Chains A and B, each alone.
Chain A
Amino acid sequence: MIEHALVGLALALGLGGGYLLARSRLRSGRRGAEPVHRILLPFTGAEISVRAIDAALRLARAEEAELMPAYLAEVPMRLPLDCSIPREAGKAMAMLEAIEQRAAAQGVPVDARIERGRSYRHALARLLGSERVDRVVVPAGTADGGEGLSGEDLIWLIDKAPAEVLILRPAPGDALSPLAANSGRAHAQL
């Protein structure tokens, strides 16, 4: 009698374990097959519009998407395109850290990139060529032709990006600039 009970128990444990294992594999398989939700947030220079970050984070939360902040770096023609760019990387690191901190506070996963190109547009084209994204949230550059993506770049982006593009006009004083924060010139608090 006891032997039967033990065999029954072993069978039940085996079946139960098998079911749990199969269910977990099925789940992970389903997860892998799900479409990727990724929101690209390209930026240049040492500051980025807080409105653009917040918009991208709101979208990412609503769509359970991953945020991909991407620092675009220009490499002059006299240097190889794949050369190391430590000074630019230093700027990018501070920016990405700040964005990641903001994203973490809202529970949004982040997968950051630093992309090099001969121009910002070239860097963006390279990034879009290598990564699949569903949306691009991009802060408009300054009207005076300063740092950032120009109007022509944005038109190009709308025309070429294989994703929905959301261009945000930065409000005055809404720039997030962690490098300036270090020197006591913070535009916005994190």
Chain B
Amino acid sequence: MSPGRYKIFLGMAAGVGKTYRMLQEGHAEADAGRDVAIGYLEPHRREETSAQARGLEVVLRRPVSIREVAVEEMDLPAVLRRRPELALIDELAHTNPPGLEHEKRYEDIAAVLAAGIDVFSTVNVQHLESLNDQVAELTGVRVRETVPDSVLGSADEVVLIDLTPEALIGRLRAGKIYPGEAIDAALNNFFRIENLAALREVSLRQVAESVEAKRLTLEQVEPLGTREKVAAEVPKAVGERVLALVRPQPSSQRLVRRAWRSAQRLGTDLDLLWVKRPGDPIEGEVERQVTALRQLASVLGARFLIEEHDDLVAAAARVAKERGATYLMVGESEPRRGFARLREPLPQRLMRATPPGVDVRIVAHRSNGGER
């Protein structure tokens, strides 16, 4: 049995409309003739959400007792018995009370998917494990319920439910997210423009990265078709990316500075690549300079890659393609002597080897010939 398809609606915060959109799409699927059921819905007493759920079949929740307090949880066995074509299961980051089949709801969802049922689900970006610290740092609020990033990575589709911070605060003030008594507290704590703007950026980046990861995964599925066919079918990344070819020597630092400035202006990421000859040891001065480059990359938030390859141009072209680089920056070559003069210069070779549309830029050495 093939597993069901998994679609996640990702939001920057509560109230952006993830559940609403999930229900809307559920209705659209039902209208198209599919068997749709709500496995679990958390309407948070929001009238619009409850209204949107009307007309869709709901699998009843099961009562569970936590320290003698009765709560209602998703009834996984009932969902599996009901076996709809598509199950709508809200809040995948939820932690189940002890005694249920799984500790986390995303594990319940995995069981539903494994049964061949398609699932639509929802999550906020601050629940992603890798972003938990970053979001806590940005907003001062740490969430306890986290999910591994692989959950998002395993989804067939991730839909970002985007809303401007101003619009979200407008919804909050209008009482569409929390009841009246909680609005002021929310506005003074989590729902501040700067928090929401930061969370929005994190969400946008997260989805952009997952789109890129998916693109790379698809590109690697060459056995399913010819390289040309796969290339034609795979969506290309939009945006810029800078790749700088460095060597473990002090002069590379200037190249890194230039590349970093370019990346900053473009608002994009920077990758540093050193193509090391196979067998060459990393020791002594080379080791010292590699450590320095690694440190510099860490300070700048750049990625330092070391590729072992005989052919600098082939390795650089492959990495440029894999990373979706649009700018390749190289340092000025040393003056060529002897037979090396007969070889085509490095920038030209790079231009020919890299995918079309990749600009090659040469960063000049600093001259030692007096002040200008």
Binding site for B on A (CB under 8 A): 32, 66, 73, 78-79, 82, 84-86, 88-90, 92-93, 96-97, 100-101, 104-105, 107, 109-116, 130-131, 190
Summarize A's interface: helix, strand, loop or mixed.
mixed
Q: Which residues of B contact A131 (CB under 8 A)?
A: 288
Contact between B137 and A78, CB atoms less than 8 A apart? yes
B1-9, B150-158, B294-302, B350-358 - interface stretch: B294-302
Chain B residue with Cβ nearest A115: B295
Q: Which residues of A contact B292 (CB under 8 A)?
A: 111, 113
A105 to B371, CA, bound (A): 5
Choose one: B257, B264, B291; the contact of A96 (CB below 8 Å). B257
A59 to B296, CA, bound (A): 26
State the total of A-B contacts with C-beta under 8 angstroms. 56
Chain A residue with Cβ nearest B256: A93
B: contact size bracket: 20 to 34
Contact between A114 and B137, CB atoms less than 8 A apart? no
Contact between A130 and B291, CB atoms less than 8 A apart? yes
Summarize B's interface: helix, strand, loop or mixed.
helix
Q: Which residues of A contact B291 (CB under 8 A)?
A: 130
Contacts A97-B257, A113-B295, A130-B291; A86 near B301 (Cβ below 8 A): yes
Choose one: B284, B285, B299; the contact of A84 (CB below 8 Å). B299
- One digit per residue, 1 when the CB lies within 8 angstroms of any chain A CB and 0 when it does not, for chain B 124-139 equals 0000000000000100
A88 to B292, CA, bound (A): 17
Chain B residue with Cβ nearest A190: B371
Asked if B67 is at the interface of the complex by the 8 Å CB criterion, the answer is: no
Contact between B296 and A104, CB atoms less than 8 A apart? no
Contact between B368 and A112, CB atoms less than 8 A apart? no
Choose one: B261, B284, B370; the contact of A93 (CB below 8 Å). B261
Contact between A104 and B261, CB atoms less than 8 A apart? no
Q: Which of B240-291 contact A (CB under 8 A)?
A: 250, 253-254, 257, 260-261, 264, 284-285, 288, 291
Q: How far is the CB of A167 from chain B (nearest CB, A)?
A: 26
Contacts A85-B299, A113-B292; A105 near B260 (Cβ below 8 A): no
Q: How far is the CB of A50 from chain B (nearest CB, A)?
A: 14
Asked if B229 is at the interface of the complex by the 8 Å CB criterion, the answer is: no
A111 to B300, CA, bound (A): 17
Q: Which residues of B contact A107 (CB under 8 A)?
A: 368
Contact between B137 and A89, CB atoms less than 8 A apart? no
Q: Other CB < 8 Å A-B pairs besides A86-B264, A114-B299, 14 of them?
A: A32-B284, A66-B250, A79-B137, A84-B298, A84-B299, A92-B299, A93-B257, A97-B254, A104-B366, A109-B250, A111-B253, A114-B295, A116-B299, A130-B291
